Amino acid sequence: MQQLPLDGVKVVDLTNVLAGPYCSYQLMLFGAEVVKVELPGAGDLARRLGPDPELNRELMGASFLAQNAGKKSVGLDLKSPAGRAAFEAMVAGADVLLENFRAGVLTRLGYDWDRLRTLNPRLVYCAISGFGQSGPMSDAPAYDQIVQGLSGMMSVTGTPDTVPLRVGFPICDTVGGLMAALSISAALAGRHRTGRGCFLDLSMLEASISAMGWTVSNYLISGVEPEPMGDQNATAAPSGTFETADGPLNIAANQQAQFETLCRLTGRPDLATDPRFAEREARKTHRQALNRELNQALRAKTAQEWEETLSRAGVPAARVLTVPQALALDQVRHRGFLTELPLAGAGERQVTVTGNGVLVDGVALRPRGPAPLLGEHDGEYGVTS
């Protein structure tokens, strides 16, 4: 079996639904052993979430299957003496403890950072919450939708007529999970030098604001308040979604040479010398007029034809695809991004899950097994129902 960067790392995972499970899924893909600690009889809420009612009834909902392949499951009640004893033994032998309760929940259960590092001085403890473990909002409940609104993200998603809009997937949960995985990996690297663990207090709100990049930095550094621009890129023109003979096409001709090549290939070399469009800032000022001219020219061919022609010439361009179309791309298949796994307890039924886009020594990271049944690995940890 391929050696992976986090082989030998043991993660005790108390998380539910998405941000935390997405984090531990990344750690698992890199080789960590992840043990989900779930409430007996109920488990992760995601076990009951998804479009397939039958899977939800079996506590193997699609939302759970997507983020929990390759993990183990142990059923523990942290309010019972037996459950607490088993949990403390697991923490004592772990490298990482991960949770995404509301701030203070684990402390109220008797496991604050002082207690946890007494159990295991080398422990890396990561707490993911909506707003962090301290501050005036720390006790407030938070889901992805709430964080999208508070971060300013929804205020720049859509057009002036449609704003505010929610991003079409739970991006704040995803960003929070990625930042947690990065933080844990950094903490493990630091522990290798110092021998000591640490406490990571991760705010999904702050991680999401950080991930907004130029939208935030343009305001902080230059005082330019961001505005919703729909499918257009505020930093350059032409850069956005355009019309072709059969569907939308994204073009990002952000460099002068790319713009000039685009004008030539669309049969409109005159646009490159037009005073309204000749320079970068002028193109941004006259964006709508430029888009109209380009749309008229681009309607002469299909999106696929333009994608091939422009990409071959060094102009970033690609069709706007549906999710099924994206998953069917030859490029995605070529790199081994998708993995078929058996559905635990369901005979020969298979489910497909994603990787994370990383190849280690040329090999795609894949789950080493299917998502677990609730409490499937109780016996391995001396837990009896």
Give the domains, in start order, of the chain with CATH numbers.
10-211+336-381 (3.40.50.10540), 239-243+248-319 (3.30.1540.10)
Given a cut of 70, whether residue 198 has pLDDT beyond it is: yes
169: left (phi over 0), alpha (psi -120 to 50) or beta: beta
Average pLDDT in the 3-22 region?
97
What average pLDDT does this structure show over 351-372?
A: 96
Residues 6+ apart with CB under 8 A from 150: 205
- Look up residue 298 and give its DSSP letter: H
**pLDDT for the residue numbered 381:** 87
Per-residue pLDDT tens over the stretch 97-127:
999 999 989 999 999 999 999 999 999 999 9
Q: How far is CA 65 from CA 216, 217, 341, in A?
A: 35, 37, 10
pLDDT exceeds 90 at position 196: yes
Phi and psi based region of residue 195 (left: phi greater than 0; alpha: psi -120 to 50; beta: remaining): left
- Kindly indicate the confidence band of residue 385, based on its pLDDT and cuts at 50, 70 and 90: low
pLDDT over threshold 80, residue 1:
no
Q: What is the pTM of this model?
A: 0.94
Residue pLDDT, tens place only, 201-245: 999 999 999 999 999 999 999 999 999 999 999 999 999 999 999
Residue-wise pLDDT for 136-173, tens only, equals 999 999 999 999 999 999 999 999 999 999 999 999 99
* pLDDT given at position 382: 81
Residues that are catalytic: 173
Determine the Cα–Cα distance for residues 353 and 54; give it in Å rounded to an integer.
18
DSSP helix/strand/coil, 377: coil
pLDDT, mean of residues 13-17: 97
> pLDDT per residue over 20-65, tens digit each?
999 999 999 999 999 999 999 999 999 999 999 999 999 999 999 9
What does the pLDDT read at residue 164?
A: 97
pLDDT in the model for residue 348: 78
* pLDDT in the model for residue 92: 97
